[in-house]
Chain A
């Protein structure tokens, strides 16, 4: 290690800090623990729905009153029992209706057992893969410090054990829950039968956390439970329903259920039958997912930090400098963790669940979302459209390079031309899209009007599956060409003029000078523009959203727009998150490919050197 170059190379060899791998493992462990712990929470969520749903349901109970609500829901719904007495002119009446013949059903779901142990091991496997990848690269460099690596490998090895143990624990607990709640439901029915109490009172006495009412004979009215479960219940033969407790297989889960018929309160002619459903579960539905994950992550990160800093304690100066460097980095790193990596990991988490924005029941579905997407033809159509759209990038670069060569110099006209070309790049995409949408309108668009004057058209720019995507590509070229031109001009300015002079002296013509001086001189600039533009084109959204809404017939349905619709129109956030990760993988692969190609050329150049 003599020269500065070798020292630099040595430093490069040390850059992948073991702490990074350790942190990745720690995060994997935290995720794994969270997955396992959340399995219990998911089951309870599925059993209980959410507080709001239950609150809405409770209001239906005839004669229930606010006291029952307050008792059932605690402080989550800020309705105080005292309000029940406050009746008067302009006030509210909480008591309405009469006790009808009712049927009670108690439901407690149990998630399908195979999915979550498998799911919990996914992060573990990822972490192990990360470790393996890290351990096998750059073997020719000095080995990394021992402690973080050892810790990471050990924690990675523990992941599966923890996950499986937690899953088993969840299983056992759910079993107890189911049995207990079915008996509670039967107790409630007995209490009501024996005493003539209202369903709410009976439920409260029996210790049922929640209850709601709906009509048995109307599956579409079973709105407080998963639709599949409602269908399963309504499909049950009456004699089976009358048997008491039973189980239902629906929605990939086992539901324990029970019911009983309550007598009429007055003994008069039976009013219309009402079915009362009691969703069972704990009132405290929130599993210790977040605290557990946070604590685990913090502990393991702290452990790794200590192990990382421990060897440095023998060198106080290095330790001081390291701490100083990290303290300078801390604010930016914190922001990055909170607002970039945090949401990233959260989206990964969401992608493993059936996730609705406002429904706290987020059943863990493992890789089901990914499987569904990979089998979804419309998603692959969107990916294909995106890939085709990306083809505008080389076209735009060629135009931009030509413009950059043509608009060199500082004459006023050239400066104005550069400004005019650059303007679309700094204009709002929405504004551009709105204007172009009008320009390209079939009937009254300026473009078709102009073409009509020369006997062409009308062209269905945006209304034909054959032309809509190329139209968007053309507009995109117009949008980005100014920005790319400016970047190319910066690159051109960096090429020494002497090289051109020397080439002229040697008799090189313009094309030869372009081929042998300009292009090689712009290689890094070209690479930069290519990579950033390809990534940008994979993220195209505004043009599609405003101009075509993915149509006609999905011809312009690109990946990000597809994800947007999945999340915000169809409210399937789990699927949308999984799509985002697949798109990330595609973009990552494309970028990696670009880098590999450039690396190859660099190696080739070194070989000649």
Chain B
């Protein structure tokens, strides 16, 4: 064979070229639509992601021919999810965090599961009602609850024992006479100590709860709230006497040196878990997600852990904690609505929740599965969490749009007192006014 210019071309080359072109063409040709791949957006990382992959593998066994692709973004999850939706390529199923519910539900980015409850075998009375409520609007259910956690107080019994304070033996044993702010302050003061004699405390009661998601249960436990019942205004609530009492209680802890420093500019104090586990902090305000960090220590006897309710104002009979939940949602414009609904149903099913419970990051949303986990836990910690969740309320973020903006503003209330000495009433009134402006938009 000769080319146009008369150069001989070996026949083998022609064959190879033909095969190459054919291969390229086949590669360039549009692939048939893969209707069996379902994409799931979530924020799991590390061990949690491995567990979720086990859940996905189980679903693939149950639905042969279906592939589940987990697209996890432990950091910047909301950004990625919103961008994928804006780009017209939403995941088939996504994990919806309670503070994100208005953002997604108000914009119609979550399908209502109500018509499919029966087919999916999902009964509303099978999950904790306070968890389900966050995802419900009227008769519509916009996500199938995955798991949740209340905010609780982790207590290091070893630190308390050093100060001569004994807790009741149960992991959820609050002081028998009640667990009021006065009780808590007394204990925190007792444990705070300078053990190395350098003139500065190195054992503390609690790390300062700077952010709204941490301190809102203190306001509730004083009989107040941060917003009006209809969520439309903050003035008269965020700056009301119960809220001011909560700010006063917490800021006094810091001003009295019962909390360590270096906490005012950080979302999370990175050393707080280490301080708690090493016996330099008596209490840790957190959710169930912190439990895996301590599980090995608890099992090996290196940490004597108790789970306590948040203390309440002396005028109130009990504390009201805040509850954070997540659920599986399906965008209405998914390419595979039918299969996506089915997958979401499985991800929220008892079987998936049992597999997921191995990660120990949160409490399963199903009452029966949570009870199983609690019964199997010999430390009693799971039972304590489940019990403390009973009186908890869902975060305002589950109902109020632009709540992240409110959270950003609310941080100022106590910061201004601690950093500039401004009276709490003044900063709270100012912040409440600005929150009203946000809510009015």
Shortest distance from the beta carbon of A406 to any chain B beta carbon, whole Å: 36
| CB–CB B415/A52 < 8 A | no
Q: Which residues of A contact B105 (CB under 8 A)?
A: 223
Interface-forming stretch among A150-158, A440-448, A493-501?
Answer: A440-448
Question: Closest CB of chain A to B115's CB: distance in Å?
Answer: 5
Minimum distance in angstroms from B206 CB to a CB of chain A = 15
In whole angstroms, what is the CA distance A356 to B401 when docked?
A: 13
A227 within 8 A of B: yes
Complex Cα spacing A96 to B415, Å:
51
CB proximity of B74 to chain A, nearest CB, Å: 15
A220: which B residues are within 8 A, CB to CB? 230-231, 399
B260 at the interface (CB under 8 A from A): yes
A92 x B419 contact (CB < 8 A): no
Proximity bits, B131-156, A CB within 8 Å = 1, else 0: 00000011110100000000000000
| A 87-100 to B, binary, CB cutoff 8 A, 1 in contact else 0 | 10011111111000
A56 contacts B108, C-beta separation under 8 Å: yes
**In the assembly, what is the distance between CA of A46 and CA of B336, in Å?**
28
Whether the Cβ atoms of B399 and A56 lie closer than 8 Å is no
* Minimal Cβ-Cβ distance residue in B for A372: B441
Please state if A57 and B264 are interface contacts (CB–CB under 8 Å): no
Alpha-carbon distance between A356 and B142 when the two chains are bound, in angstroms? 21
Residue B335 at the chain A interface, CB threshold 8 Å: yes
Given known pairs A52-B107, A56-B108, the reply for A76 and B333 (CB within 8 Å) is: yes
Minimal beta-carbon separation of B243 from chain A (angstroms): 20
A571 near B: Cβ within 8 Å?
Answer: yes
Q: Indicate whether A570 reaches chain B with its CB closer than 8 angstroms.
A: yes
Q: Which residues 213-235 of B sit at the A interface, judged by CB distance below 8 A? A: 230-232
Is the pair A223, B137 in contact by a Cβ cutoff of 8 Å?
A: yes
CB-CB contacts below 8 Å: B231-263 with A? 231-232, 260-263
Question: Would you give the shortest CB distance from B153 to chain A, in whole angstroms?
Answer: 21
Chain B residues near A231: list those with CB within 8 A: 232
Question: Which A residues, 350 to 401, have Cβ-Cβ distances below 8 Å to chain B?
Answer: 356-359
Assembled-state Cα–Cα distance A32/B263 (Å): 50
Pick from B76, B112, B405: contact of A59, CB below 8 A: B112
Do residues A93 and B115 form an inter-chain contact, with CB atoms below 8 A? yes
Does A219 contact B230, Cβ atoms closer than 8 Å?
Answer: yes
> For residue A233, which residues in chain B have a CB less than 8 angstroms away from its CB?
none
- Are A221 and B137 in contact, with the CB atoms below 8 A? yes
A50-92: which residues lie under 8 A (CB-CB) from chain B? Answer: 50-57, 59-60, 76-79, 83, 87, 90-92
State whether the Cβ of B320 lies closer than 8 Å to any Cβ in chain A: no
Q: Looking at the complex, which one of B107, B119, B265 makes contact with A91 (CB distance below 8 Å)?
A: B119
Q: Which of A253-261, A301-309, A456-464 contacts B (4 or more CB under 8 A)?
A: A456-464
- Is B264's CB under 8 angstroms from A463's CB? yes
Q: Is there contact, CB below 8 Å, between B107 and A93?
A: no
Task: Mark out the residues of chain B between 89 and 112 whose CB falls within 8 Å of any chain A CB in the assembled complex.
Answer: 102-103, 105-112
Which residues of A are found within 8 Å of B103, using beta-carbon distances?
571
Contact B261 A357 (CB under 8 A): no
B412 within 8 A of A: yes
- Once the chains bind, are B114 and A55 in contact (CB under 8 Å)? no
Jot down 14 A-B pairs with beta carbons below 8 A, ordered by A.
A50-B108, A53-B107, A53-B108, A53-B332, A79-B337, A92-B116, A93-B115, A220-B399, A223-B137, A359-B107, A549-B267, A551-B264, A552-B264, A569-B404
